Chains A and B, each alone.
Chain A
Amino acid sequence: MNSPITSDQAYGWRIEDLDVDEMILNMGPQHPSTHGVLRIELKTDGEVVRAARPHIGYLHRCFEKHAESVDYPGVIPYTDRMDYVASMGNSLGYALAVEKLMAIEVSPYVQTIRVIMAELQRIASHSIAVGTYGMDIGAFTPFLHLLRDREKILDLFEWTCGARLLYNYNWVGGLSHDVPEGFVKACRQFLREFDAITYPELMDLLIGNKIFIKRTAEIGVCSPELAISYDLTGPNLRGSGVPRDLRKDEPYCGYGQYAFDVVVGKGAYGPLGSCFDRNWVRAVEMHESAKILHQAVDRLEKMERTDVREKVPKRVKPNKGEVYGRSEAPRGQLGYYIVADGTAVNPYRVKVKSPCFTAMSIFHVLARGMYIADIIALIGSLDVVLGEIDR
């Protein structure tokens, strides 16, 4: 039953493709800085990378095939497992898409909680992104400072829904649990600590560090046109100087009622759209998220508690139709293309446009001519999570 490998290209470059000085370096899938199981083939000339070719699929878990064989709410746990660093954002995007398909309007109370959860998750996710980026560059300490704050967020999540990583929290038409008593107070406590200690410490220790700037500010430069052509979204796009954020452009969950700024890369230390800009946008976005959270928590406090499962349908069975729902997940625009055939309780087709997938597709363009050390910096600045690329 062994099927022979027929494709010549399967193994990438062959020895005949190489110059005398060149060699092939296989980075990954077990490499400490490929953020999961990414494998990159590098054609290197000494320390300089002549060409790069990413190979993905090591973490493919057949999400889209799974989604076709479970019912609509049953997909949500699978969405959590795509971008396991920011599960709240994934399930929120899916819930929003199905709600759009079924024309369900959730209550403002639920919307506010969703915003709080999404923004907390954004801070947690960016903490990991910026922290591990520092670690890629060689600064270990900021990572642990940020993880310390991420733990506090996970504690809040655990308190609310019992899970620390994969929440199954945003349901179609509502939420799995209401927030517990005292959540607002705990949330404020976290924000106070984050604003007063972690964020300024991060800015001083990592983002403002001269070596860090020198390492990142002139590499991986991505022009706005290139970024749009390769569908970079979220912080990656804004790092290239395009002020587009779905929370502003197409407000969902009542994002229109919150005052916050869209953070755009400035190219302060080098060309616009460099690795530094992408990472800087991420870091400052944490602060913007905190701003949103302050407002959302104030709103939540004044609201009357309502049943968060009020609008959850007994049986999710949309009419025949299709929808492309997208939301601003921490890593960028997360799109769900859902096709319902109107007869079955399971989706006919779910296609996920994951922001990491498109971010990774630009990699080979940006990687050309870099140093090996910069390759690591580039992967980190694109902030990919392999669970979402491979799905």
Chain B
Amino acid sequence: MDFIYGLLPADLPTWVRVLGAGIACAVIGVTAMALGPLLYVYAETKVAGFMQDRIGPKRVGPHGLLQTVADAVKLLFKEAIYPAGADKKLFILAPCLVVVGAFLSFVVLPFGSRMQAVDLNIGLFYVVAVSSLSTVGLIMAGWASNNKYALFGAMRSAAQIVSYEIPAMMSLLTIVMIVGSLSLQEVVWAQQGGLQSWFLFRFFPIMPVVAIVFFTAGLAECNRAPFDIPEAESELVAGFHTEYSGFFFAMFFMAEYTEMLVISAVTSVLFLGGWWAPHPALQQIGSVGLGPFWLIAKAWFLMFVMMWLRWTLPRLRVDQLMYVAWKVLLPIGLTLVVLVGGLVLWFPDGFAWDGWVGWPLTLALFGFLFVVMQRAIRWSRKRAVEMAA
């Protein structure tokens, strides 16, 4: 906003410049949010292609960049079909509600120290509240479609989202206890000072677990694989959006990818330092702040992890899904709340080793897992070659 403010002629009255810059920012922001899914879908197809040993889209535009644009245009022009016996009002309202629910979270996402629409003092609470708004939309879609598969999908998604909200909430609570505020901006400021003060690396080894619990629950909340049972294309055809076509379908699609971004962004705000750079020296180039860049980079990395998981893992069954939520994640979450609560009391400044042990160890752990994975692959290939010989 400052940047645009600076661009506007200095002889204009201040309020005009503020207003103009504000409107320009809003327009840019909303457009970027709305068009974002085009990019994410493209990324998803390319990531999937990479994982599946194929190329992915490459015909429309350079490297297939315009493929998703073409898809979106196609969906726009397709007829919206209302199934016989559908409740037409709810049928139309449902995708709108889902999209609204997904986009509302952007209001409180801090992209920089001053790049935030509203710094609500109940920001975290707000994020949780609006992201579960989409559940209502999904149930509406399932019910209004007059289709049994859609109904199954809606019921599954309701059960799933309500269940996974609880472990997500537990892990949020730990953050709130450490920061002492619900405001997302406050959460980010609490992680000032580079990599070692990110919440992911505090109270090692407790906070990484919190982060994993939150990310897993978030994955389930946006109906991504391996928790994609509400859509489960091999079981329920397409789940709650079985009967949707044309632009309504595109809206569901848009909502799904936006929600992915929201979950990733919130995770990076909570655990990966939000708009803070890994090192204070990287925070800005000259006078240009890189806050938004860092947040988006972190969020996109997490989205890549989501895609990675989707194209690697099979889907859970309904009962297994509930098992994971209630018997695995919830006990862990409750323990963590108690644990972190105590730790915050006894070690208000964190563990002694937080500054220098947490992040190298965490990174080392990830590195170790990576190496083990590579070893396993190499070993199995070698074994196969030996077996074949």
A and B touching (Cβ–Cβ under 8 A): yes
Binding site for B on A (CB under 8 A): 23, 25, 31-33, 47, 134-141, 144-145, 148, 191-192, 195-197, 199-201, 203-206, 209, 211-212, 214-215, 287, 290, 294, 371-376
CB nearest neighbor in A for B238:
A32
Q: Say which residue of A32, A138, A199 sits within 8 Å of B315 (CB atoms).
A: A138
If A138-B234, A373-B235 are given as contacts, then 19 extra A-B residue pairs at C-beta distance below 8 Å, sorted by A number, are A25-B148, A134-B314, A136-B234, A137-B314, A137-B315, A140-B48, A140-B52, A144-B52, A145-B53, A148-B54, A196-B385, A197-B384, A199-B384, A204-B380, A205-B312, A211-B316, A290-B388, A294-B388, A371-B318
With A134-B314, A374-B317 already in contact, the answer to whether A204 and B377 are too (CB < 8 A) is: yes
Q: Say which residue of A25, A32, A215 sits within 8 Å of B317 (CB atoms).
A: A215
Assess whether B295 is interfacial by the CB under 8 Å rule. no
Provide the residues of chain A in CB contact with B53, threshold 8 Å. 144-145, 148
Q: Say which residue of A134, A192, A212, A373 sits within 8 Å of B388 (CB atoms).
A: A192
Within the complex, the shortest CB–CB distance from B203 to chain A, in Å, comes to: 29
Q: Say which residue of B229, B313, B387 sits within 8 Å of A139 (CB atoms).
A: B313
Provide the residues of chain B in CB contact with A374, threshold 8 Å. 317
Interface flags for B360-378 (1: CB within 8 Å of A; 0: not) read: 0000000000000000110
Task: Decide: B320 and A215 in contact? CB cutoff 8 A.
Answer: yes
Provide the residues of chain B in CB contact with A195, threshold 8 Å. 384-385, 387-388
The 6 closest A-B pairs by CB, nearest first: A138-B315, A195-B388, A144-B52, A139-B314, A200-B384, A137-B314
Provide the residues of chain A in CB contact with B384, threshold 8 Å. 195-197, 199-200
Taking chain B's interface residues, is the majority helix, strand, or loop, or is none over half, making it mixed?
loop
- Chain B contact-residue range equals 35 or more
A372 to B234, CA, bound (A): 11
Task: Decide: B314 and A212 in contact? CB cutoff 8 A.
Answer: yes
Taking chain A's interface residues, is the majority helix, strand, or loop, or is none over half, making it mixed?
helix
With A195-B388, A211-B314 already in contact, the answer to whether A200 and B52 are too (CB < 8 A) is: no
14 contacts between A and B (CB under 8 A): A33-B234, A137-B314, A139-B313, A140-B48, A140-B52, A196-B385, A200-B380, A200-B381, A209-B314, A215-B316, A371-B318, A372-B235, A372-B236, A373-B235
Within the complex, the shortest CB–CB distance from A314 to chain B, in Å, comes to: 44
Task: Decide: B381 and A371 in contact? CB cutoff 8 A.
Answer: no
Within the complex, the shortest CB–CB distance from A79 to chain B, in Å, comes to: 30
Provide the residues of chain A in CB contact with B52, threshold 8 Å. 140-141, 144-145
Binding site for A on B (CB under 8 A): 48, 51-54, 148-149, 152, 225-226, 228-229, 232-237, 311-320, 376-377, 380-381, 383-385, 387-388
Task: Decide: A139 and B232 in contact? CB cutoff 8 A.
Answer: no
A33 to B229, CA, bound (A): 15
Provide the residues of chain A in CB contact with B314, threshold 8 Å. 134, 137-139, 206, 209, 211-212, 215
A348 to B234, CA, bound (A): 42
Provide the residues of chain A in CB contact with B320, threshold 8 Å. 214-215
A61 to B314, CA, bound (A): 36
Within the complex, the shortest CB–CB distance from B369 to chain A, in Å, comes to: 15
Q: Say which residue of A197, A212, A294, A376 sits within 8 Å of B235 (CB atoms).
A: A376
Task: Decide: A31 and B51 in contact? CB cutoff 8 A.
Answer: no
Provide the residues of chain B in CB contact with A205, threshold 8 Å. 312
Q: Say which residue of B228, B232, B376 sits within 8 Å of A204 (CB atoms).
A: B376
A211 to B385, CA, bound (A): 27
Within the complex, the shortest CB–CB distance from A246 to chain B, in Å, comes to: 25
Provide the residues of chain A in CB contact with B376, threshold 8 Å. 204
Within the complex, the shortest CB–CB distance from A249 to chain B, in Å, comes to: 26
A294 to B389, CA, bound (A): 10
Q: Say which residue of A25, A33, A137, A144 sits within 8 Å of B54 (CB atoms).
A: A144
CB nearest neighbor in B for A192:
B388
A276 to B148, CA, bound (A): 29
CB nearest neighbor in A for B389:
A195
Task: Decide: B318 and A138 in contact? CB cutoff 8 A.
Answer: no
A28 to B377, CA, bound (A): 39
CB nearest neighbor in B for A290:
B388
A372 to B236, CA, bound (A): 9
With A200-B381, A211-B316 already in contact, the answer to whether A138 and B388 are too (CB < 8 A) is: no
Task: Decide: B388 and A191 in contact? CB cutoff 8 A.
Answer: yes
CB nearest neighbor in B for A30:
B237
With A200-B381, A205-B312, A212-B314 already in contact, the answer to whether A135 and B234 are too (CB < 8 A) is: yes
CB nearest neighbor in A for B318:
A47
Provide the residues of chain A in CB contact with B149, threshold 8 Å. 25
A199 to B380, CA, bound (A): 10
A195 to B318, CA, bound (A): 36
A376 to B225, CA, bound (A): 17
CB nearest neighbor in A for B310:
A140
CB nearest neighbor in B for A208:
B380
CB nearest neighbor in B for A143:
B52
A298 to B51, CA, bound (A): 35
Task: Decide: B383 and A138 in contact? CB cutoff 8 A.
Answer: no
With A47-B152, A215-B317, A215-B320 already in contact, the answer to whether A197 and B225 are too (CB < 8 A) is: no
Within the complex, the shortest CB–CB distance from B54 to chain A, in Å, comes to: 6
With A25-B148, A32-B234 already in contact, the answer to whether A200 and B383 are too (CB < 8 A) is: yes
